[in-house]
Protein backbone atom coordinates (compact mmCIF):
# COMPACT_ATOMS: atom_id res chain seq x y z
CA UNK A 1 0.00 0.00 0.00
CA UNK A 2 1.40 3.37 -1.01
CA UNK A 3 -0.39 5.28 1.72
CA UNK A 4 -2.59 4.65 4.69
CA UNK A 5 -5.70 6.87 4.61
CA UNK A 6 -7.37 7.46 7.94
CA UNK A 7 -9.91 4.77 8.79
CA UNK A 8 -12.54 5.32 11.48
CA UNK A 9 -13.40 2.29 13.62
CA UNK A 10 -16.76 2.67 15.40
CA UNK A 11 -17.34 0.47 18.44
CA UNK A 12 -20.74 0.66 20.18
CA UNK A 13 -20.32 -0.29 23.84
CA UNK A 14 -23.00 -1.36 26.30
CA UNK A 15 -22.44 -3.40 29.47
CA UNK A 16 -19.59 -5.50 28.11
CA UNK A 17 -16.93 -4.97 30.79
CA UNK A 18 -15.85 -8.61 30.40
CA UNK A 19 -15.15 -8.23 26.67
CA UNK A 20 -14.52 -4.61 25.69
CA UNK A 21 -10.82 -4.67 26.61
CA UNK A 22 -10.19 -7.69 24.38
CA UNK A 23 -12.08 -6.00 21.57
CA UNK A 24 -10.14 -2.74 21.82
CA UNK A 25 -6.82 -4.59 22.16
CA UNK A 26 -7.55 -6.42 18.90
CA UNK A 27 -8.10 -3.05 17.19
CA UNK A 28 -4.98 -1.47 18.66
CA UNK A 29 -3.02 -4.52 17.53
CA UNK A 30 -3.90 -3.99 13.87
CA UNK A 31 -1.04 -3.95 11.40
CA UNK A 32 -2.88 -1.00 9.81
CA UNK A 33 -2.02 1.91 12.11
CA UNK A 34 -3.74 5.06 10.81
CA UNK A 35 -6.94 4.53 12.79
CA UNK A 36 -9.52 6.85 14.31
CA UNK A 37 -11.02 4.64 17.04
CA UNK A 38 -14.38 5.81 18.38
CA UNK A 39 -15.77 4.04 21.44
CA UNK A 40 -19.42 4.93 22.04
CA UNK A 41 -20.47 4.16 25.61
CA UNK A 42 -24.23 3.82 25.20
CA UNK A 43 -25.27 4.38 28.80
CA UNK A 44 -23.47 1.38 30.29
CA UNK A 45 -24.30 0.62 33.93
CA UNK A 46 -21.21 -1.52 34.53
CA UNK A 47 -17.54 -0.50 34.23
CA UNK A 48 -17.52 -0.46 30.42
CA UNK A 49 -17.42 3.34 30.24
CA UNK A 50 -14.55 3.55 32.74
CA UNK A 51 -12.58 0.96 30.76
CA UNK A 52 -13.14 2.96 27.57
CA UNK A 53 -11.90 6.15 29.26
CA UNK A 54 -8.78 4.38 30.46
CA UNK A 55 -7.97 3.23 26.92
CA UNK A 56 -8.48 6.77 25.61
CA UNK A 57 -6.19 8.14 28.32
CA UNK A 58 -3.36 5.90 27.16
CA UNK A 59 -3.97 5.98 23.38
CA UNK A 60 -4.13 9.23 21.43
CA UNK A 61 -6.07 7.68 18.55
CA UNK A 62 -9.01 6.65 20.76
CA UNK A 63 -11.98 8.90 21.46
CA UNK A 64 -14.87 8.08 23.81
CA UNK A 65 -18.44 9.28 23.52
CA UNK A 66 -20.68 8.85 26.56
CA UNK A 67 -24.42 9.06 25.90
CA UNK A 68 -27.69 7.87 27.46
CA UNK A 69 -28.72 4.40 26.40
CA UNK A 70 -30.31 4.53 22.97
CA UNK A 71 -29.48 1.12 21.53
CA UNK A 72 -27.07 -0.18 18.93
CA UNK A 73 -28.27 2.08 16.13
CA UNK A 74 -28.02 5.23 18.22
CA UNK A 75 -24.48 4.31 19.27
CA UNK A 76 -23.33 3.64 15.72
CA UNK A 77 -24.96 6.85 14.52
CA UNK A 78 -23.16 8.84 17.21
CA UNK A 79 -19.87 7.47 15.93
CA UNK A 80 -20.80 8.28 12.33
CA UNK A 81 -21.59 11.85 13.35
CA UNK A 82 -18.04 12.49 14.57
CA UNK A 83 -15.90 10.21 12.38
CA UNK A 84 -13.04 11.81 10.48
CA UNK A 85 -11.79 8.87 8.40
CA UNK A 86 -11.88 8.52 4.65
CA UNK A 87 -13.20 5.02 5.28
CA UNK A 88 -15.19 3.52 8.16
CA UNK A 89 -15.69 0.09 9.68
CA UNK A 90 -17.73 -1.22 12.62
CA UNK A 91 -16.69 -3.67 15.34
CA UNK A 92 -19.12 -4.86 18.01
CA UNK A 93 -17.64 -4.53 21.47
CA UNK A 94 -17.86 -8.21 22.43
CA UNK A 95 -16.18 -9.32 19.20
CA UNK A 96 -12.55 -9.20 18.01
CA UNK A 97 -10.70 -8.83 14.73
CA UNK A 98 -7.55 -10.50 13.40
CA UNK A 99 -4.51 -8.22 13.34
CA UNK A 100 -4.56 -8.25 9.52
CA UNK A 101 -8.29 -7.51 9.26
CA UNK A 102 -8.19 -3.81 8.40
CA UNK A 103 -5.04 -4.15 6.27
CA UNK A 104 -6.80 -6.85 4.26
CA UNK A 105 -10.00 -4.84 3.89
CA UNK A 106 -8.09 -1.80 2.68
CA UNK A 107 -5.93 -3.86 0.33
CA UNK A 108 -9.09 -5.01 -1.46
CA UNK A 109 -10.22 -1.39 -1.71
CA UNK A 110 -6.90 -0.46 -3.27
CA UNK A 111 -6.21 -3.41 -5.58
CA UNK A 112 -9.77 -4.02 -6.78
CA UNK A 113 -10.80 -0.35 -7.06
CA UNK A 114 -13.64 -1.18 -4.68
CA UNK A 115 -15.59 1.27 -2.55
CA UNK A 116 -16.73 -1.38 -0.08
CA UNK A 117 -14.78 -4.48 0.92
CA UNK A 118 -15.77 -7.36 3.16
CA UNK A 119 -14.23 -10.31 4.95
CA UNK A 120 -15.90 -13.33 6.50
CA UNK A 121 -16.55 -14.12 10.16
CA UNK A 122 -16.18 -17.18 12.34
CA UNK A 123 -17.76 -17.87 15.70
CA UNK A 124 -15.69 -17.97 18.85
CA UNK A 125 -16.80 -19.20 22.24
CA UNK A 126 -17.59 -16.98 25.18
CA UNK A 127 -14.16 -17.08 26.84
CA UNK A 128 -11.95 -17.36 23.75
CA UNK A 129 -9.07 -14.96 23.13
CA UNK A 130 -8.32 -13.42 19.75
CA UNK A 131 -7.06 -16.09 17.32
CA UNK A 132 -3.69 -15.39 15.71
CA UNK A 133 -4.23 -17.44 12.56
CA UNK A 134 -7.04 -17.65 10.04
CA UNK A 135 -7.38 -19.72 6.87
CA UNK A 136 -7.33 -17.79 3.60
CA UNK A 137 -10.55 -17.79 1.59
CA UNK A 138 -11.67 -17.06 -1.92
CA UNK A 139 -11.98 -13.46 -3.20
CA UNK A 140 -14.89 -12.33 -5.33
CA UNK A 141 -15.46 -8.90 -6.90
CA UNK A 142 -19.00 -7.75 -7.52
CA UNK A 143 -18.99 -5.36 -10.42
CA UNK A 144 -21.78 -3.25 -9.00
CA UNK A 145 -23.54 -2.64 -5.72
CA UNK A 146 -26.71 -3.94 -7.35
CA UNK A 147 -25.05 -7.29 -8.08
CA UNK A 148 -23.76 -7.52 -4.51
CA UNK A 149 -27.11 -6.66 -2.95
CA UNK A 150 -28.83 -9.23 -5.14
CA UNK A 151 -26.50 -11.90 -3.75
CA UNK A 152 -27.01 -10.54 -0.23
CA UNK A 153 -30.80 -10.68 -0.38
CA UNK A 154 -30.79 -14.15 -1.93
CA UNK A 155 -28.60 -15.08 1.08
CA UNK A 156 -25.84 -16.57 -1.01
CA UNK A 157 -22.11 -16.84 -0.32
CA UNK A 158 -19.63 -14.05 0.35
CA UNK A 159 -21.76 -11.07 1.40
CA UNK A 160 -24.39 -10.68 4.10
CA UNK A 161 -26.16 -7.68 5.61
CA UNK A 162 -24.07 -7.39 8.78
CA UNK A 163 -22.63 -3.92 9.39
CA UNK A 164 -19.41 -5.36 10.81
CA UNK A 165 -16.79 -7.18 8.75
CA UNK A 166 -16.88 -4.48 6.07
CA UNK A 167 -14.92 -1.37 5.13
CA UNK A 168 -16.94 1.42 3.57
CA UNK A 169 -16.18 4.66 1.82
CA UNK A 170 -17.18 7.04 4.60
CA UNK A 171 -19.07 9.40 2.30
CA UNK A 172 -21.72 6.71 1.78
CA UNK A 173 -22.96 7.45 5.30
CA UNK A 174 -23.58 11.11 4.59
CA UNK A 175 -27.13 10.13 3.65
CA UNK A 176 -27.54 6.88 5.56
CA UNK A 177 -28.04 6.19 9.27
CA UNK A 178 -29.13 3.14 11.26
CA UNK A 179 -32.83 3.31 12.29
CA UNK A 180 -33.24 3.78 16.04
CA UNK A 181 -35.69 1.74 18.08
CA UNK A 182 -36.01 -1.36 15.89
CA UNK A 183 -34.25 -4.69 15.63
CA UNK A 184 -32.64 -5.82 12.37
CA UNK A 185 -31.06 -2.40 11.97
CA UNK A 186 -28.34 -3.88 9.74
CA UNK A 187 -30.85 -5.27 7.24
CA UNK A 188 -32.59 -1.89 7.29
CA UNK A 189 -29.36 -0.07 6.41
CA UNK A 190 -26.57 -2.06 4.77
CA UNK A 191 -28.33 -3.08 1.51
CA UNK A 192 -29.07 0.59 0.81
CA UNK A 193 -25.47 1.60 1.57
CA UNK A 194 -24.12 -1.13 -0.71
CA UNK A 195 -26.27 0.10 -3.58
CA UNK A 196 -24.14 3.27 -3.55
CA UNK A 197 -20.98 1.37 -4.53
CA UNK A 198 -19.68 0.85 -8.06
CA UNK A 199 -17.46 -2.06 -7.01
CA UNK A 200 -17.60 -4.30 -3.95
CA UNK A 201 -14.83 -6.81 -3.17
CA UNK A 202 -15.72 -9.67 -0.84
CA UNK A 203 -13.57 -12.37 0.68
CA UNK A 204 -14.33 -15.63 2.45
CA UNK A 205 -11.20 -15.16 4.59
CA UNK A 206 -12.46 -15.22 8.23
CA UNK A 207 -10.79 -12.26 9.92
CA UNK A 208 -13.73 -11.15 12.08
CA UNK A 209 -14.36 -13.15 15.24
CA UNK A 210 -17.98 -13.15 16.34
CA UNK A 211 -18.40 -14.07 19.98
CA UNK A 212 -21.16 -16.56 20.73
CA UNK A 213 -22.65 -15.44 24.03
CA UNK A 214 -24.40 -17.88 26.36
CA UNK A 215 -27.89 -16.58 25.57
CA UNK A 216 -29.37 -18.50 22.63
CA UNK A 217 -31.69 -17.09 19.96
CA UNK A 218 -34.56 -19.17 21.30
CA UNK A 219 -33.83 -18.24 24.90
CA UNK A 220 -33.80 -14.51 24.12
CA UNK A 221 -36.69 -14.46 21.63
CA UNK A 222 -39.36 -11.80 21.97
CA UNK A 223 -42.05 -10.58 19.62
CA UNK A 224 -39.92 -7.46 19.08
CA UNK A 225 -38.07 -9.55 16.52
CA UNK A 226 -41.10 -9.20 14.28
CA UNK A 227 -39.67 -5.75 13.46
CA UNK A 228 -38.03 -7.63 10.61
CA UNK A 229 -41.39 -7.92 8.87
CA UNK A 230 -41.56 -4.15 8.45
CA UNK A 231 -37.92 -4.05 7.37
CA UNK A 232 -38.41 -6.56 4.56
CA UNK A 233 -41.68 -4.92 3.50
CA UNK A 234 -39.75 -1.67 3.07
CA UNK A 235 -37.04 -3.50 1.10
CA UNK A 236 -39.54 -4.97 -1.34
CA UNK A 237 -41.25 -1.61 -1.80
CA UNK A 238 -37.96 0.24 -2.32
CA UNK A 239 -36.61 -2.25 -4.83
CA UNK A 240 -39.89 -2.30 -6.74
CA UNK A 241 -39.74 1.48 -7.06
CA UNK A 242 -36.01 1.99 -7.59
CA UNK A 243 -34.31 -1.29 -8.64
CA UNK A 244 -36.87 -3.55 -10.29
CA UNK A 245 -34.17 -6.09 -11.11
CA UNK A 246 -33.81 -6.70 -7.37
CA UNK A 247 -37.50 -7.27 -6.66
CA UNK A 248 -37.25 -11.08 -6.65
CA UNK A 249 -34.19 -10.93 -4.40
CA UNK A 250 -36.03 -8.69 -1.94
CA UNK A 251 -39.08 -10.97 -2.07
CA UNK A 252 -36.83 -13.96 -1.35
CA UNK A 253 -35.46 -12.19 1.73
CA UNK A 254 -39.00 -11.31 2.77
CA UNK A 255 -40.07 -14.94 2.43
CA UNK A 256 -37.10 -16.03 4.54
CA UNK A 257 -37.87 -13.47 7.27
CA UNK A 258 -41.50 -14.52 7.54
CA UNK A 259 -40.56 -18.19 7.73
CA UNK A 260 -37.99 -17.43 10.42
CA UNK A 261 -40.48 -15.56 12.60
CA UNK A 262 -42.96 -18.43 12.32
CA UNK A 263 -40.17 -20.85 13.26
CA UNK A 264 -39.19 -18.80 16.30
CA UNK A 265 -42.78 -18.57 17.51
CA UNK A 266 -43.35 -22.27 16.94
CA UNK A 267 -40.16 -23.26 18.71
CA UNK A 268 -40.63 -20.98 21.73
CA UNK A 269 -44.41 -21.11 22.12
CA UNK A 270 -44.46 -17.30 22.17
CA UNK A 271 -47.13 -16.40 19.65
CA UNK A 272 -49.24 -13.50 18.47
CA UNK A 273 -52.22 -14.32 16.29
CA UNK A 274 -51.87 -11.15 14.21
CA UNK A 275 -48.18 -11.79 13.51
CA UNK A 276 -48.86 -15.44 12.64
CA UNK A 277 -51.59 -14.37 10.24
CA UNK A 278 -49.34 -11.74 8.67
CA UNK A 279 -46.50 -14.21 8.15
CA UNK A 280 -48.83 -16.83 6.73
CA UNK A 281 -50.36 -14.44 4.19
CA UNK A 282 -46.91 -13.34 3.06
CA UNK A 283 -45.71 -16.93 2.73
CA UNK A 284 -48.73 -17.87 0.62
CA UNK A 285 -48.17 -14.87 -1.64
CA UNK A 286 -44.45 -15.52 -2.11
CA UNK A 287 -44.13 -19.31 -2.17
CA UNK A 288 -44.58 -19.65 -5.94
CA UNK A 289 -41.67 -17.24 -6.48
CA UNK A 290 -39.63 -19.18 -3.92
CA UNK A 291 -40.27 -22.46 -5.69
CA UNK A 292 -39.56 -21.38 -9.27
CA UNK A 293 -36.70 -18.90 -8.86
CA UNK A 294 -33.42 -20.87 -9.18
CA UNK A 295 -31.52 -18.42 -6.96
CA UNK A 296 -33.74 -18.91 -3.91
CA UNK A 297 -31.81 -21.03 -1.43
CA UNK A 298 -32.89 -24.63 -0.87
CA UNK A 299 -33.94 -24.01 2.73
CA UNK A 300 -36.55 -21.53 1.55
CA UNK A 301 -37.71 -23.81 -1.27
CA UNK A 302 -38.34 -26.59 1.24
CA UNK A 303 -40.28 -24.18 3.42
CA UNK A 304 -42.35 -23.06 0.44
CA UNK A 305 -43.10 -26.67 -0.50
CA UNK A 306 -44.08 -27.55 3.07
CA UNK A 307 -46.42 -24.54 3.25
CA UNK A 308 -48.54 -25.98 0.44
CA UNK A 309 -49.98 -28.43 3.00
CA UNK A 310 -51.30 -25.64 5.22
CA UNK A 311 -50.30 -23.54 8.22
CA UNK A 312 -50.85 -26.22 10.86
CA UNK A 313 -48.64 -28.69 9.03
CA UNK A 314 -45.97 -26.03 8.47
CA UNK A 315 -45.90 -25.14 12.18
CA UNK A 316 -45.58 -28.82 13.13
CA UNK A 317 -42.62 -29.22 10.77
CA UNK A 318 -40.97 -26.01 11.98
CA UNK A 319 -41.33 -27.10 15.60
CA UNK A 320 -39.22 -30.19 14.88
CA UNK A 321 -36.22 -27.97 14.16
CA UNK A 322 -36.17 -26.08 17.46
CA UNK A 323 -33.14 -27.97 18.83
The answer on 139 and 73 residing in a single domain is: yes
DSSP 155-169: T-SS--S-SSSEEEE
Distance of CA 267 to the CA centre of its chain: 24
In a domain, 65, yes or no: yes
Q: How many residues does the chain have?
A: 323
User: Is 89 in contact with 199 (CB distance < 8 Å)?
Assistant: no
In a domain, 216, yes or no: no
* Residue 78 domain boundaries: 7-211
In a domain, 218, yes or no: no
In a domain, 100, yes or no: yes
The answer on 168 and 241 residing in a single domain is: no
Q: What would the pLDDT profile of 278-307 be if each residue is shown by its tens digit?
A: 999 999 999 999 999 999 999 999 999 999
The answer on 129 and 40 residing in a single domain is: yes
The answer on 247 and 168 residing in a single domain is: no
In a domain, 42, yes or no: yes
- The pLDDT score that the predictor gives to residue 143 is 86
SS3 of residue 84 by DSSP: coil
The answer on 65 and 159 residing in a single domain is: yes
Q: What would the pLDDT profile of 220-230 be if each residue is shown by its tens digit?
A: 789 999 999 99
In CATH, what number is assigned to the domain containing residue 197? 3.90.550.10
In a domain, 238, yes or no: yes
The answer on 235 and 119 residing in a single domain is: no
Apex 286 CA angle, 284 and 292, nearest 5: 115
Pick from 164, 183, 211: which residue ends a domain? Answer: 211
CA distance 178 to 75: 9
The answer on 178 and 105 residing in a single domain is: yes
Whether 208 has a pLDDT exceeding 80, the answer reads: yes
The answer on 138 and 57 residing in a single domain is: yes
In a domain, 2, yes or no: no
Q: What would the pLDDT profile of 17-44 be if each residue is shown by its tens digit?
A: 999 999 999 999 999 999 999 999 999 9
Q: Name the H helices within 154-246.
A: 190-194, 227-242
- Predicted TM-score (pTM) above 0.75: yes
Number of structural domains, the chain?
2
- The pLDDT score that the predictor gives to residue 189 is 98
The answer on 232 and 101 residing in a single domain is: no
CA distance 137 to 203: 6
Pick from 211, 232, 256: which residue ends a domain? Answer: 211
Whether 255 has a pLDDT exceeding 50, the answer reads: yes
Whether 57 has a pLDDT exceeding 90, the answer reads: yes
The answer on 228 and 202 residing in a single domain is: no
CA distance 62 to 167: 19
Q: What would the pLDDT profile of 137-159 be if each residue is shown by its tens digit?
A: 888 999 899 999 999 999 998 89
In a domain, 294, yes or no: yes
Strand runs labelled E in 18-104: 35-42, 62-67, 87-90, 96-97
**For residue 214, what pLDDT band results from cuts at 50, 70 and 90?**
low
Q: Which of 52-61, 171-180, 184-193, 311-320 has the lowest mean pLDDT?
A: 311-320
Whether 232 has a pLDDT exceeding 60, the answer reads: yes
- φ/ψ of residue 100, rounded to 5: -100, 10
The answer on 280 and 145 residing in a single domain is: no
User: Is 59 in contact with 36 (CB distance < 8 Å)?
Assistant: no
The answer on 233 and 171 residing in a single domain is: no
CA distance 138 to 215: 32
Pick from 155, 182, 211: which residue ends a domain? Answer: 211
CA distance 39 to 302: 43
Amino acid sequence: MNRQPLISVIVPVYNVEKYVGKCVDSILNQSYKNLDIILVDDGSTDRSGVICDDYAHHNANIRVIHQPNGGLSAARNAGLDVMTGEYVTFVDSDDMIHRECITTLYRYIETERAEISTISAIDIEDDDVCPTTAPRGELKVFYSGVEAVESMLFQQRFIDNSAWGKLYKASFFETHRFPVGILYEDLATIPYVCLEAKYIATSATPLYFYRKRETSILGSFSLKRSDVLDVVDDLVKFMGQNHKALTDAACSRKFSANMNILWLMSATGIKDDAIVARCWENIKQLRKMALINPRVRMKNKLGALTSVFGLDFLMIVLNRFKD
